[in-house]
Structure 1
């Protein structure tokens, strides 16, 4: 439980906010005058409650539940980050209730990322990554720290920040180092897969394909992740112009997803197959596969809508008879991508448009 050695108006305000009470309701709960609480809030650390009132505040804090304690410590940390250390809550590392709250927040981050709510996800992750240093944590804390860092990598990747000191690559490498320290092979392999995705997104297609091929037979990964690796081998090959070979690899991954009863992965696989057939000049098969992808997925996240519409528009743009339809589909995809801050997808759409206007006509990106 959080404790305060010496109350000032600053700590009192943090407690009121943590309890989610108005000034009047907080005063009533403590049995004090509204003017007293208002004075605390106006002078903050410049005023100190009387000794008997300090005891009342101690009691109010001690009776609060774990969620209030978490909000109180978080608020106070933010409010005193540049102030005197004597006003801060004492802490000797995370407690059990903090771990529980941390794990709950990570579940919320996963949901937020699936909806491309990047601002909310980033605020939840920053709450914990800014709160603790890895050197202060035990094994459970390190596990949560590594999970948080890996999710930060997912956030950066989806925002298009692939390389650099504040990028997906940097976060993934940091998370991998902690999971290596904890000796958790499955998590290490998952980070290797995430780093291979970063390699592909940064344009190093041959290296990415080799990494995916290795991971596609890596027993540390689940069968689903191995199937995804196989699919992404095909994606890299297709982007590198090896469309027929890529198609065969992708079809093998598609069969794996069918056996695993993974409808969303099966849908994504058909989307990738459609682009591979477009690259090979087989627009009939490309349209067949993209229609399957558009009708078979069970999730409808903004990211997946943009990816499907981008692939569909790319295929339509490849045929002069459907070029105008393709531009309309790409325009809609660009609007959604801009709305949700999907920078990498916007770049992809812009690249498709630019290539379609070039002297050689539409090409595989």
Structure 2
């Protein structure tokens, strides 16, 4: 177990980092003032805690578990005992140290959680903390991996916000991260970014291009079975937006069966939500409401985005029938309020587009031709894109 014969601000900061506490939380943990800890952080080896505080630090270290002791020893072994150069823990190299890699990876896990809850400011702050600290030439293989992951997550953040400028930024982030993962020979990560780029294409209105990309990724061995099923689901999503609701339903149903086989309840629920919208487009409101009921009863609508998507789907279906159009418009207002509070720009634009349609003259759903053509054989009708039959 690690021991310290004489504490300085340097060892105090190493303990704080090993405990993975903020300055304020570390001060509360020790029972000292935040200004005291801030002084240690600033002066490092050139300041020494008072004798009674030295004893408090001894106790905090002694009570820490083995993992904390290992991190504490690692931090100190990397920097040694700096002399007059002691301005911080990193005194010998501009490249990241192993403890920084560990903190970076931990922060990326926190970013994933923040994005799932649409806490965009917090996620953005964590990502830029690392992306602004290091440059690619400084980084070894592990550092480049973390840098690429950070860049990809920044793309997710921009995509979720969904502004037009944000979509371009997301595309730029994905392309950059994919290049790094390709260089590192991590094909699964590169393929996941191909999937993200297809989503950006769909959100930008490039439905035919997105559908082709999804279709290729649905059979891409680089992806996991779950990601391939998602690609198959999104083939249906893009085709439904183009007006090919029956073929979209078949593609989505195949994805739904895959999610069931893979025991992925959340994806299974989302697939039913997408199926509901495809059947709405086909004019089959009874089936649409049945699918939506499954999505509501099995889904996990805890995040703002999930609530907006489910509420918008329900509103869209209700707006299709003149008898329930007022209820649909009321739900659209609810979804718009949640989307505005959560900075979900793409969802807001979708809601406004639905509202404009609903507030106009009622027209029954009908096939809206897009860039696809019909191909007929003795088994089924299916769309083909740019003259190339689908498999």
1 CA distance for matches of 2:168 and 2:288?
Answer: 37
2 CA distance for matches of 1:219 and 1:173?
Answer: 20
2 CA distance for matches of 1:143 and 1:275?
Answer: 38
The CA deviation at 1:301 is 1.5
Structure 1 residues 201-232: Cα deviation after superposition (integer angstroms, max 9, x where no partner): 00000000000000000000000000000000
Counterpart among 141, 144, 147 of residue 143 in structure 2 = 141
Counterpart among 106, 109, 113 of residue 108 in structure 2 = 106
Q: Does residue 187 of structure 2 align to residue 185 of structure 1?
A: yes
Residue 349 of structure 1 corresponds to which residue in structure 2?
Answer: 351
- Alpha carbons 1:334, 1:346 under 8 Å: kept: yes
- Cα separation, partners in 2 of 1:114 and 1:120, compared to 1, 3 Å: same
Structure 1 residues 324-360: Cα deviation after superposition (integer angstroms, max 9, x where no partner): 1101111111111111111111111011001222346
Residue 90 of structure 1 corresponds to which residue in structure 2?
Answer: 91
Where is the helix percentage greater, Structure 1 or Structure 2? Answer: 1
1 CA distance for matches of 2:301 and 2:358?
Answer: 30
Q: Which runs of 5+ in 2 are unaligned?
A: 1-8, 62-67, 76-84, 369-391
Q: Does residue 286 of structure 2 align to residue 284 of structure 1?
A: yes
What is the aligned-residue RMSD (CA, Å)? Answer: 3.5
Structure 1 residues 277-299: Cα deviation after superposition (integer angstroms, max 9, x where no partner): 11111111111111111111135
Counterpart among 116, 125, 128 of residue 127 in structure 2 = 125
1 CA distance for matches of 2:261 and 2:34?
Answer: 62
- Cα separation, partners in 2 of 1:165 and 1:274, compared to 1, 3 Å: closer
Q: Which runs of 5+ in 1 are unaligned?
A: 1-6, 31-36, 71-84
1 CA distance for matches of 2:234 and 2:295?
Answer: 16
Structure 1 residues 227-284: Cα deviation after superposition (integer angstroms, max 9, x where no partner): 0000000000000011111111111111101111111101110111111111111111
1 CA distance for matches of 2:107 and 2:307?
Answer: 26
The CA deviation at 1:18 is 7.4
TM-score normalised by L of structure 2: 0.73
2 CA distance for matches of 1:309 and 1:267?
Answer: 14
The CA deviation at 1:55 is 5.5
1:174-253 aligned within 5 A:
174-253=176-255
Residue 116 of structure 1 corresponds to which residue in structure 2?
Answer: 118
Residue 312 of structure 2 corresponds to which residue in structure 1?
Answer: 310
1 CA distance for matches of 2:302 and 2:87?
Answer: 47
- Alpha carbons 2:115, 2:123 under 8 Å: kept: yes
SS of residue matched to 1:261: coil
- Alpha carbons 2:158, 2:166 under 8 Å: kept: no
- Alpha carbons 2:159, 2:167 under 8 Å: kept: no
Residue 77 of structure 1 corresponds to which residue in structure 2?
Answer: none
- Cα separation, partners in 2 of 1:353 and 1:254, compared to 1, 3 Å: same
2 CA distance for matches of 1:19 and 1:202?
Answer: 43
SS of residue matched to 2:48: helix
2 CA distance for matches of 1:289 and 1:25?
Answer: 57
Q: Does residue 327 of structure 2 align to residue 325 of structure 1?
A: yes
The CA deviation at 1:132 is 0.7
- Cα separation, partners in 2 of 1:328 and 1:26, compared to 1, 3 Å: closer
Q: Does residue 274 of structure 2 align to residue 272 of structure 1?
A: yes
Counterpart among 48, 54, 60 of residue 56 in structure 1 = 48
- Cα separation, partners in 2 of 1:144 and 1:346, compared to 1, 3 Å: same
TM-score normalised by L of structure 1: 0.78
Structure 1 residues 127-174: Cα deviation after superposition (integer angstroms, max 9, x where no partner): 111111111100011111111111111111000145569611111111
SS of residue matched to 2:134: coil
- Alpha carbons 2:243, 2:281 under 8 Å: kept: yes
Structure 1 residues 85-105: Cα deviation after superposition (integer angstroms, max 9, x where no partner): 996763511011111111111
- Alpha carbons 1:162, 1:168 under 8 Å: kept: no
- Cα separation, partners in 2 of 1:184 and 1:350, compared to 1, 3 Å: same
- Cα separation, partners in 2 of 1:205 and 1:130, compared to 1, 3 Å: same
